[in-house]
Structure 1
Amino acid sequence: MRPPRRGVSTSNAYTQAAVLAALGILITAAVYGVVALTVKADDIGLYLTRSTSAAVRRAGFGLVKGVPVLLKTLAAVGTAAMLWVGGGIIVHSLDGLGYHRPEHLIEAFAKSVEHAVIVFPAIINWLATSMVQACLGVVVGAVAIGVVKAFGGNTAVKENWEEF
């Protein structure tokens, strides 16, 4: 017979808080480290181009040429993720406030797409739900920008939005 599992969830509140804080600090440091490396990757590549080794120089040129593509890709993926998350927050918040219709409509749409496509039903359902939530995020964001532009607001914000 196996002994009962003893993990963080069965520990006291102080241990749980300490583990949560330590993980939060560790994950934050890791994320900022990856961001710092990503931002400095082209500088690292430029440094490597001055090497005497042909292979290292080639890697440096690859970084110098590849990092802008990576950053543009990250910008697009990050924007899509923010729109999706924003739409999801709106839908779930409305549901929490007692207005369940948007969430039910999205669920019904996702189910119909799931039944129409047939393959990988869970993935198709998730993709359909995410797509609608992202579209909702775009619409609400566009309306918010329009309202701020129309009715004033912070002039610094208005000046920056003129670029759009």
Structure 2
Amino acid sequence: MGGLMGLLDDIAALAKLAAASIDDVGAATGRATAKAAGVVVDDTAVTPQYLRSVAAKRELPIVWKIAVGSIRNKLVFILPAALLLSQFLPWLLPIVLMIGGTYLAYEGAEKIWHKVSGHHDAELPATEVSPEAEKKMVAGAIRTDLILSAEIMVIALDEVADETFWSRLAILVVVAFVITVIVYGIVAAIVKMDDVGLRLATYDSGFSRTLGRGLVKAMPVVLAVISVVGTVAMLWVGGHILLVNLGADGTGWIPAPYEWVHHIELAIHDGAGAFGGTLGWIFNTLCSAVVGLVVGGLVVAVLHLLPSRKKETQEHPVRG
């Protein structure tokens, strides 16, 4: 009997330890998810841009494909790479992030270039989007998600850097699933809101019909705003990645840019009273967006303008 009671005590102690560990993982997951909230908003704003010309019946399947690609990005590519780099080659992690930030800035700047130059991507009627076009659309969304997800996971990793390796692994797996569900749940709700409006418009209730018609009229405006926000988010997050990894905490290559921005942000925060935090954040965000626009614009120039100039010179050589 004494042996049995001792065994039960041991099991109870193990159960308490496991429960405490779960609580710790849950609390750390909450902190890490909250820390990455800004990039989560950007991810949510960027993704609907890829669904603007998609037939209604294909919207949710495509969102599902992108969500599966997102969780694959986080668990198969980003998580192992981030853990290994942070463990053995921490100096390489900022370089990888800067490459991703440059790509994200390029994506945002290219969208602006298309608007300014009139080179709009063809928006085919929803019924004419081929399986190949859909596959390309999904691949583009997953590529963009890879950069945003990398930033999310690295922010989360930094928040739990003091945990043991296995705790970090468990926390980041949970963060990956939680954030993916949040982002693509909201995206699915956004892209199906017009269908909800159409359904409400068929109800007998006057309020339901009014609400439904309002949703249908509002969604094109909402999607247009989201498109602008998504473009700005690409520049903002891409520029922020570049700024932070050039000089955050003295670990980057050139500490001056981020230290300058952060110093002014703190001065605004401390000197602007109740609105200091908001104004400081706006200043930091604007600086990040400007950096993203400049770097992305340079990449766009190299990839688009210079080849066009070279082609024009070859077609119309200067005659002496």
Global fold match (TM > 0.5): yes
Partner of 1:79: 231
Deviates more, 1:62-71 or 1:10-19: 10-19
Alpha-carbon offset, residue 41 of structure 1: 0.9
Percent of residue pairs bearing the same amino acid type: 32
Partner of 2:257: 102
Residue type at the aligned position of 2:204: T
Structure 1 residues 62 and 104: CA distance shift in structure 2, 3 A: same
Does 2:285 correspond to 1:133?
Answer: no
Structure richer in helix, relative to its length: 2
1:51 to 203, 206, 214: 203
Residue type at the aligned position of 2:301: G
- CA offsets per residue over residues 69-111 of structure 1, 9 Å max, x none? 2212222222222211111111122224421122233234445
Stretches of structure 2 lacking an aligned partner (at least 5 in a row): 1-19, 29-161, 309-320
Partner of 2:302: 147
Alpha-carbon offset, residue 16 of structure 1: 5.5
Structure 1 residues 101 and 19: CA distance shift in structure 2, 3 A: closer
Of the two structures, which has the highest relative contact order with CA contacts closer than 8 Å and spacing of 6 or more?
A: 2
Partner of 2:15: none
Alpha-carbon offset, residue 60 of structure 1: 0.9
Structure 1 residues 35 and 142: CA distance shift in structure 2, 3 A: same
Structure 1 residues 120 and 63: CA distance shift in structure 2, 3 A: closer
Structure 1 residues 138 and 22: CA distance shift in structure 2, 3 A: same
* Superposition CA RMSD, Å: 3.1
Structure 1 residues 35 and 105: CA distance shift in structure 2, 3 A: same
Alpha-carbon offset, residue 142 of structure 1: 1.4
Residue type at the aligned position of 2:209: R
Give matches, 1:12-31, under 5 Å.
Answer: 14=166, 17-31=169-183
Question: How far apart, in 2, do the equivalents of 1:70 and 1:107 lie?
Answer: 33
Question: How far apart, in 2, do the equivalents of 1:83 and 1:117 lie?
Answer: 26
Q: SS state of the match for residue 52, structure 1?
A: coil
TM-score between the two structures when normalised by the length of structure 1:
0.72
Alpha-carbon offset, residue 54 of structure 1: 1.9
Q: SS state of the match for residue 120, structure 1?
A: helix
Structure 1 residues 110 and 37: CA distance shift in structure 2, 3 A: closer
Question: How far apart, in 2, do the equivalents of 1:69 and 1:120 lie?
Answer: 29
- CA offsets per residue over residues 117-159 of structure 1, 9 Å max, x none? 5553333332212211111111111121111113449xxxxxx
Question: How far apart, in 2, do the equivalents of 1:131 and 1:121 lie?
Answer: 15
Alpha-carbon offset, residue 23 of structure 1: 4.2
Does 2:220 correspond to 1:68?
Answer: yes
Stretches of structure 1 lacking an aligned partner (at least 5 in a row): 1-5, 154-164
Structure 1 residues 116 and 143: CA distance shift in structure 2, 3 A: farther
